[in-house]
Amino acid sequence: MNAAQKAIVRSTLPMKRCRYCLSTENLTIDHKNPVSRGGSNERKNLQCLCRRCNGIKSSLSNGEVLRLFRWFKDIEASREYYGGKPLYLKR
């Protein structure tokens, strides 16, 4: 994307919060399906992410990242349920 295309996207894409963590700081434009994996620069393939989440996402697809975040959330829930220790230590 060149600077002119980015300016057009920024004016049409709601750049209020990160889609993943809801941060309002250091917002960037990200491809839901990365260009390196066949994604396009069309508006429907773009989303607003903070720099941190964009770095974590890297070249993963949007669906892969959401599954990864759900997995992390499940791990945290199981740690709370089992007193903060990993499951393999509770046997």
Round to whole Å and give the CA distance between 44 and 70: 23
Q: What is the pLDDT along the chain (91 residues), one digit of tens a residue?
A: 677 777 777 777 777 899 888 999 999 989 999 989 998 888 889 999 999 999 989 888 888 988 988 888 888 887 777 676 655 555 4
pTM over 0.75: no
Round to whole Å and give the CA distance between 41 and 47: 11
pLDDT score recorded for residue 77 = 81
Question: Cα-atom radius of gyration of the chain, to the nearest Å?
Answer: 17
Q: Which domains does the chain have, with CATH numbers?
A: 3-89 (1.10.30)
pLDDT score recorded for residue 25 = 93
C-beta of residue 12 within 8 angstroms of C-beta of residue 44: no
**Exposure string over 47-76, b if 16+ CB within 10 A, otherwise e:** bbbbeebbeebeeebbeebeeeeeeeeeee
